[in-house]
Amino acid sequence: MRRISLAVSLMALFAVVLAAPSPAATLHSIGTFKRPIFVTSDPSDFERLLVVEREGRVVETGPGGTRTYADLSFLVACCESERGLLSIAPAPDFHSSGRFYAAYTGTPAAGGLEGDVHVDSFRPDPQTAGQLIREPILSVGHSQEANHNGGQLQFGPDGHLYVSLGDGGGGGDPFENGQDTEELLAKILRIDPRPGQSPAYAIPAGNPFAAGPGRDEIWAYGLRNPWRFSFDYATGDMVTADVGQSAREEVDFAPDVGGVVSGAGANYGWSCREGFIAYASPAANCAGKSGFAEPVFDYPHEDPGNGGAHGCSIIGGYVVRDQSVADLYGRYVYSDYCTGVIRSLLLPATASGRASDDRATGLTVSEPTSFGEDSCGRVYVASAEGPVYRLEGPTPAVCPQPRTAIPISKKARKGTHVRLHARRVRGRLRLIASVTPCAGHRHARLRLNRGGRRFARKRLSKRCLAGFHPRVRGRTSFRAVLPGPVPIRSRRVEVGARHTNTPPTGR
């Protein structure tokens, strides 16, 4: 009997342990800044955090201390209503080039009118220490109203730059931009930036309006103020938080399909729809419109009670992939500027599904302005009052050692060689192709074949590098190809869902 009782007691104890909730996330302050509005990091070094300050500064902070990395305040119109430096996106080769892209509302010194939205490339001037070279990429007129600028920049899993723009401001879409595909406002754009060239960007293959009618740059439309969107780095899924008018705040979802970002041509409904409901005062160009891409989640401005989400302005976040924050892993975190409550939910498997299990985390930040994510997958939240916090679990995140730039031999070689390397970065497969010698091949189109078939194409960087992030479910092989009258191919690289097999020579 005693043995039976002991066994029963142990089983009961194990049941309690297994049923116990995972340790809760906490907020760890990484410092106080002046009007912080976005957080990111060097793509190759998670310890180099970049905090964006609304008035125009980019502050670098890390083990070596804190310093101003870039000061764009002479170009930035701030801070009437929602104007200012909106966000940045470090280039994939930021570790070696120092290049980053910035979205901001400009002064006349930036070109155009006060308040126009600019997307520019900036890089250190090799001739003058501390100075930046500005290379304009894209400008959009936005001088009439100071709100609804959008302004999120993010490189997608496909390597292209995604840009969010609000509807032009005011209330109720007075310029009727939401449903007008001949205008760039109220959209998410997708471009291939080419700083220093003319034109300064190309239109990637697959943009839904590239064949016309509609602007070639548009990826999705019908958005009021997509202040923040993000990509789940484990899946490639795109999540957009669109700020509502007077009734509903919404979350839009475009899942990755076979390694390709989806949502091309999606119409998220503004100003015909607000969340799941019809907008009370739709624009005239809503007449006869249908087939809208419904959000996967929305919440009201009025408190619904029972701890439900409510507020005035959604602040979109990220799907948490930091395994040290076990209670939030795989969940999308977001907040609201008015309540400051950090909440999380489970996204559906498809764009036509619905999010589930929305709940409060027990964490609150006063006047949250933005979430951010570093290259280790750790998530941050910034407060308009100055502090920037990192979401942390009971034990620190385990991050890989910071990576250094990939070297390219300067020694000229006879003939042209294409090489393909495979590595795991935060659990995801990354393929890096290089062409040597580089001279004559910069910005050439490189093709990636998978299993002997054409899989993707990307333009080489100035260092003749191209990175790919394919999703792999089983064993397969890849080969990089430089097209031409006589195509030049790399050796085949075989990979599996959990391993890679790159020849020691990298050839």
Q: Is residue 400 part of a domain?
A: no
Q: Is residue 171 part of a domain?
A: yes
CATH number for the domain including 472?
Answer: 2.60.40.10
pTM recorded for the entire structure: 0.78
292 with 384, same domain: the answer is yes
Distance CA 382, CA 362 (A): 17
132 with 204, same domain: the answer is yes
Distance CA 33, CA 30 (A): 10
| Residue 229 CB coordination number (10 Å) | 26
CB 358 within 8 A of CB 348: no
* Token output for 164: 């969010």
Q: Is residue 12 part of a domain?
A: no
**Closest C-alpha among 253, 228, 239, 187 to residue 336:** 228
Q: Is residue 62 part of a domain?
A: yes
pLDDT at 421: 87
Q: Which residues, 6 or more positions from 491, have their beta carbon under 8 angstroms from its beta carbon?
A: 419, 420, 479, 503, 507
Q: Is residue 29 part of a domain?
A: yes
DSSP letter string over 401-429?
A: PPPPPPP---S--SS-EEEEEEEEETTEE
**Closest C-alpha among 77, 76, 75, 104 to residue 88:** 104
Three-state SS at 89? strand
At position 294, the amino acid (one-letter code) is E
**Closest C-alpha among 480, 474, 420 to residue 454:** 480
Place of tokens 């093709």: 447
State which of 326, 358, 392 marks the end of a domain.
Answer: 392
| Residue 396 CB coordination number (10 Å) | 11
Distance CA 296, CA 275 (A): 9
387 with 421, same domain: the answer is no
Tens digit of pLDDT at every position of the chain (507 positions): 433 444 444 444 334 333 334 458 999 999 999 999 999 999 989 999 999 999 999 999 999 899 999 999 999 999 999 999 999 999 999 999 999 999 999 999 999 999 999 999 999 999 998 899 999 999 999 999 999 999 999 999 889 999 999 999 999 999 999 999 999 999 999 999 999 999 999 999 999 999 989 999 999 999 999 999 999 988 899 999 999 999 999 999 999 887 678 999 999 999 999 999 999 999 999 999 999 999 999 999 999 999 999 999 999 999 999 999 999 999 999 999 999 999 999 999 999 999 999 999 999 999 999 999 999 999 999 999 999 999 999 988 888 665 443 333 333 333 688 989 888 766 788 899 998 888 777 778 888 988 777 788 888 887 888 999 898 888 888 989 887 656 788 888 888 754 444 433 333
Three-state SS at 213? coil
78 with 197, same domain: the answer is yes
CATH number for the domain including 81?
Answer: 2.120.10.30
Indicate the number of domains in the chain. 2
217 with 285, same domain: the answer is yes
**What phi, psi does 286 have (nearest 5°)?**
-85, -15
State which of 335, 357, 392 marks the end of a domain.
Answer: 392
DSSP state letter for 203:
P
35 with 152, same domain: the answer is yes
116 with 212, same domain: the answer is yes
| Residue 340 CB coordination number (10 Å) | 17
Phi-psi category of residue 22: left, alpha or beta, with phi > 0 → left and psi -120 to 50 → alpha: beta
**Closest C-alpha among 326, 363, 368 to residue 39:** 368
SS3 string of 310-350? CCCCEECCCECCCCCCHHHCCCEEEEECCCCEEEEEECCCC
* Token output for 342: 């950090």
Beta-sheet pairing, 387-392 with 379-383 = antiparallel
State which of 392, 426, 458 marks the end of a domain.
Answer: 392
**Closest C-alpha among 22, 25, 84 to residue 53:** 84
Distance CA 422, CA 494 (A): 9
173 with 246, same domain: the answer is yes
491 with 351, same domain: the answer is no
Q: Is residue 444 part of a domain?
A: yes
Q: Which domain holds residue 492?
A: 417-501
Q: Is residue 402 part of a domain?
A: no
pLDDT at 73: 98
Q: Is residue 1 part of a domain?
A: no
Three-state SS at 173? coil
Phi-psi category of residue 81: left, alpha or beta, with phi > 0 → left and psi -120 to 50 → alpha: left
289 with 341, same domain: the answer is yes
Distance CA 143, CA 80 (A): 12
265 with 152, same domain: the answer is yes
CB 65 within 8 A of CB 71: no
Three-state SS at 273? strand
272 with 334, same domain: the answer is yes
Three-state SS at 109? helix
pLDDT at 485: 53
